[in-house]
């Protein structure tokens, strides 16, 4: 196994030897050399970098150390409320708090306690009484304000001085309707393309632009009727960067669209899958960067579109693939055939970990939670923890029997 490391290993070994001699000398005369602690801190950081770079080598090349696998565990539900519908949209407020909208018009928060030793705990709030329509899109404006876009045209601002652990929705939040300058039938599927601009489904094939502005401490929606584009048979979309996004279609096409000069311009069109595209999501590598798109669709089709390299096709998946999430070097894909697939990144490349596949389990949604941790919602609205057992950190390496 040939390693390609940025750390000078010989320098590191020599410096460790020098510090060890200084420490032994200190034990004899009781005098610690000046600068010893600074040198130790510097070497500790080099060691951290070295171990981080070694992680993928141990995952891929070292047998009988630690095989990556997935495990599903039910959560423990607390409180008087639950969730008994299908998820329509969701937004993460912080690492433990989420806001959800169901297909039957119920908007609720849920808080998850990840500090539990054995079983994580979930608590749902009561539904927000002021919202009486199905919400098609949720957007977090800032730490104190959230926007809800309704299927029959309502736009609601949810605000709170503290969203840290908000479960008494009636007593801790304020709900108000946002005004708009347009007679709008309702919000379909939406996508934020920057902090205040959105594209929205407007008719069967039309994507229109609207803007949210704030004047005198009040928000208002401005619809730009003359800024739109038409995409035949479109199914899903994902933002790539500010004012740049991609749209997938029922015929497997990808359209890359740029907003510039007050126009929505199709910059590229390509045939990508041989059937309907069901979901497009960014893949997040171990450094937190997002430089590849994961495109999934019917008949087990899955392709990775790198923004800087060639397209990668991953075969041998089964069923219609419909949901995916990615966090820090892993991605979880759901199939309608009751299969949970795991994709991993090593050495900057993504691949399917076939050995970790879980079969005969049916879930409706996957939500990213933390490194190697995801939430899975089942058909009864119950949340389950998907825990990926994997070497992620230098501490994980220290805890392994590396020399067996």
State pLDDT tens for residues 310-342: 899 999 999 999 999 999 999 999 999 999 999
Nearest-angstrom CA–CA distance, 125 and 248: 35
Cβ atoms within 10 A of the Cβ of 129, count?
Answer: 10
Nearest-angstrom CA–CA distance, 51 and 393: 8
* Tokens linked to 163: 């969203």
* Tokens linked to 100: 């959800």
The strand pair at 179-180 and 218-230 is best described as parallel
Nearest-angstrom CA–CA distance, 356 and 309: 27
pLDDT at 2: 66
* Tokens linked to 262: 């007050």
Q: pLDDT above 90 covers what percent of the chain?
A: 67
Q: Is residue 62 within 8 Å of residue 80, measured between CB atoms?
A: no
Q: Hunting for tokens 């104190």 — which residue is that? A: 144
Phi, psi at 243, each rounded to 5°: 65, 20
Global pTM reads 0.92
DSSP string, 292-320: EEEEEESTT-EEEEESSS--EEE----S-
DSSP collapsed to 3 states, 240-269: EECCEEEEEECCCEEEEEEEECCEEEEEEE
Nearest-angstrom CA–CA distance, 321 and 338: 10
Q: What is the longest distance spanned by two Cα atoms in the chain? A: 85
Q: What is the pLDDT along the chain (404 residues), one digit of tens a residue?
A: 567 888 888 888 898 888 888 888 888 888 888 888 888 899 899 999 999 999 998 888 877 678 899 999 999 999 889 998 999 999 999 888 999 999 999 999 999 987 756 689 999 999 999 998 999 999 999 989 999 999 998 999 999 887 875 666 566 789 999 988 777 778 989 999 999 999 999 877 899 999 999 988 899 999 998 999 999 999 999 999 999 999 999 999 999 999 999 999 999 999 999 999 999 999 999 989 999 999 999 999 999 999 888 899 999 999 999 999 999 999 999 999 999 999 999 998 999 999 999 999 999 999 999 999 999 999 999 999 999 999 999 999 888 875 55
Q: Is residue 155 within 8 Å of residue 133, measured between CB atoms?
A: no
Q: Which residues contact 49 (CB under 8 A, 6 or more apart)?
A: 6, 7
Strand, helix or coil for residue 218:
strand
Q: Is residue 137 within 8 Å of residue 125, measured between CB atoms?
A: no
Strand, helix or coil for residue 206:
strand
pLDDT at 404: 53
Strand, helix or coil for residue 146:
strand
- Of 110, 99, 94, nearest to 149 by C-alpha is 99
């Amino acid at each position: 196994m040939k390693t390609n490391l940025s750390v000078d290993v010989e320098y590191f070994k020599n410096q460790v030897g020098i510090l060890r001699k200084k420490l032994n000398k200190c034990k004899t005369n009781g005098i610690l050399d000046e600068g010893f602690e600074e040198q130790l801190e510097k070497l500790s950081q080099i060691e951290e970098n070295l171990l981080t770079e070694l992680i993928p080598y141990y995952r891929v090349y070292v047998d009988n150390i630690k095989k990556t696998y997935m495990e599903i565990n039910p959560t423990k539900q607390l409180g008087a409320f639950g969730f008994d519908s299908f998820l329509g949209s969701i937004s993460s407020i912080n690492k433990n708090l989420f806001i959800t909208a169901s297909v039957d018009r119920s908007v609720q928060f849920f808080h998850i306690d990840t500090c539990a030793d054995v079983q994580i705990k979930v608590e749902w709030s009561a539904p927000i009484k002021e919202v009486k329509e199905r919400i098609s899109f949720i957007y977090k404006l800032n730490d104190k304000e959230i926007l809800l876009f309704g299927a029959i045209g309502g736009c609601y601002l949810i605000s709170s001085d503290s969203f840290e652990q908000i479960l008494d929705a009636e007593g801790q939040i304020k709900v108000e309707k946002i005004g708009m300058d347009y007679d709008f039938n309702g919000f379909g599927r939406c996508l934020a393309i920057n902090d205040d601009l959105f594209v929205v489904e407007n008719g069967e094939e039309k994507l229109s632009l609207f803007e949210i502005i704030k004047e005198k401490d009040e928000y208002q929606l401005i619809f730009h009727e003359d800024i739109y584009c038409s995409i035949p048979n479109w199914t899903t979309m994902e933002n790539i960067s500010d004012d740049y996004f991609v749209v997938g279609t029922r015929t497997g096409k990808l359209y890359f669209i740029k907003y510039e000069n007050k126009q929505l311009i199709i910059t590229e069109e390509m045939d990508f899958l041989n059937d309907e595209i069901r979901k497009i999501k960014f893949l997040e590598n171990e450094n937190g960067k997002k430089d590849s798109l994961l495109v999934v669709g019917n008949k087990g089709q899955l392709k990775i579109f790198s923004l800087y390299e060639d397209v990668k096709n991953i075969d041998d998946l089964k069923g219609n693939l419909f949901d995916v999430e990615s966090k820090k070097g892993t991605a979880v894909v759901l199939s309608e055939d009751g299969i949970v697939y795991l994709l991993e990144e090593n050495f900057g490349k993504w691949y399917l970990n076939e050995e970790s596949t879980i079969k005969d389990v049916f879930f409706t949604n996957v939500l990213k939670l933390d490194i190697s941790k995801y939430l899975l919602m089942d058909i009864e609205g119950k949340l389950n923890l998907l825990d990926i057992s994997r070497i992620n950190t230098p501490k994980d390496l220290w805890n392994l029997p590396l020399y067996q």
